[in-house]
Amino acid sequence: PADVMSLGRGSWRLLHTLAANYPDAPTEEEKQNVTQFIELFSRVYPCPPCAQDFREWLGSNPPDVRSGPMLSQFFCRAHNEVNRKLNKKEFDCKLVDERWKLGWKD
Ligand code: FAD
């Protein structure tokens, strides 16, 4: 992995933005697609130790694909898990829409 930090920033942007645009009432196919995407993402993420820990976490925290808001909260929990591991500040999950739907600069 060339740059685990910028890879991470770009990847979280993709995942949180995906959730922010996921339907409120997804079809079965949409639910299956995003479930598979997350599973495959966790297998191909090009930082092997990151991917390994993420897969382990997913094992006890299956993606909540019932709706956009639930998927956004799911990724917020996933991201906070990594924040804790890296001794970063936890993110307030009430602010996910403000951050990733409306957008703010940081
Ligand atoms: P990032 O953590 O990349 O966050 C970017 C922005 O997202 C923040 O500025 C904030 O506005 C917002 N944000 C922060 N927390 C949340 C949240 N909970 N919900 C919603 N928005 C939030 N790095 C490692 O060194 N070791 C690892 O094992 C590791 N595992 C990773 C696993 C995955 C699946 C991913 C995607 C990344 C992983 N990373 C790992 C990278 C790490 O999470 C960070 O992306 C990287 O350290 C850069 O951090 P950053 O401080 O720039 O902000």
pLDDT of 16-32, one tens digit each?
999 999 999 999 999 99
Query: Global pTM?
Result: 0.96
Q: In this structure, which topology does domain 4-103 adopt according to CATH?
A: Four Helix Bundle (Hemerythrin (Met), subunit A) (1.20.120)
Question: Which of 79, 93, 95, 100 best tests ligand 1's pocket when mutated (most atoms within 8 Å of CB)?
Answer: 79
- Does this complex have an ipTM over 0.95? yes
Domains of the chain, by residue range, sit at 4-103
Report which protein residue has its CA nearest ligand 1's atom 29: 50
Residues with CB under 6 A from ligand 1: 4-5, 8-9, 11-12, 16, 45, 49-50, 53-54, 76, 79-80, 82-83, 86, 88, 91, 96, 99, 106
What one-character DSSP code corresponds to residue 106?
Answer: -
Q: What SS3 class is residue 31?
A: helix
